[in-house]
Amino acid sequence: MAFHTLCGSDPFLDFIRNTYDAIPLRVPDTRIQPLSLFLTIGKRVRIVGDLAQLQPADWVSPPFHTADLAAVSHQSTNSLSWSVVTDLLGPLLTQMLTAAQIDITASLRAARARNDRVRLVLGGTKRSFVDPIVCALALQNNPVKLPQIFGAEIGNGSSKPLYITDSILTAKHISISSDDDANGEFAAKLESDLVGKLSPKAMLRRKSGLTITANEPFPFAFTCLQLSVNETLEVDGVQVHGSSKFLGATEAGAMTPQSHSILGEPDQMVRFDD
């Protein structure tokens, strides 16, 4: 199943959806970059490549821009049960391992009691993007012919829509804290549980919690635009849905009108199929 419900309404998910039109990822997926192409088929979401793969070898990709998203670091999740958090942290921390692959999710589940409740905060957040109008012009000026393997129904109708990502939101740090940890015991115990699994340099313990730094920035959300595909399997435009929204007044950029495709429900996170 591509869409996973976190546990009801969550202020962090609400913030990134309402401020950036962004769709949160349940598992960091480095395959997702600006101009990635993906399909939704029923309740499945599958990456099929990127725009450059469908263009001539001499095609020049539109420029990517990067902006800090400092406002995101002020947003915390709800107080979550440790069992929920382990499913979110496991895949993320596995990407950050410097040694052999370890079942980090199982290690996390064994490390803490079931009644622990914690909050997550992301830091070092940035947005890498191609302006939607530039993305549309790139397709208009360089029409894309999809391979026949896609089938005539791809992008033509609502059964198998085709999307292109125009931005990804990335983070470098994740902080884990417990509401009931006045003495810092939770952070100390969690750090000791992760010793030998994560590099010591990747962990910074404070009384308020434990901050873990990734080797590389990891994507935690993305925005996308639905593509229009004609009967000859040629991408002939970008579809605009719903009313225009405005980017929040943060470092993300100027007040540029956006109208992205929104996937999933407000309390859901997306996972791409392999």
Q: What pLDDT, on a 0 to 100 scale, did the predictor assign at position 25?
A: 92
Give per-10-residue mean pLDDT for the chain (274 aa).
74 91 89 91 86 86 92 90 82 66 70 73 94 84 82 69 93 88 80 81 86 90 90 80 38 48 87 82
| Confidence (pTM) | 0.86
**181 touches 175 (CB < 8 A):** no
**194 touches 203 (CB < 8 A):** yes
Q: What pLDDT, on a 0 to 100 scale, did the predictor assign at position 249?
A: 33
**DSSP character at residue 242:** S
Q: What pLDDT, on a 0 to 100 scale, did the predictor assign at position 32?
A: 92
**2 touches 43 (CB < 8 A):** yes
Q: What pLDDT, on a 0 to 100 scale, did the predictor assign at position 97?
A: 62
Any idea of the CA torsion for 261, 173, 122, 73, to the nearest 10 degrees?
Answer: -110
Q: Which residues pair with 268 in a beta bridge?
A: 5
Alpha-carbon 225 to chain mean position: 15
Q: Is the dihedral of CA 55, 58, 62, 63 positive or negative?
A: positive
Q: What pLDDT, on a 0 to 100 scale, did the predictor assign at position 167?
A: 95
Q: What pLDDT, on a 0 to 100 scale, did the predictor assign at position 120?
A: 92
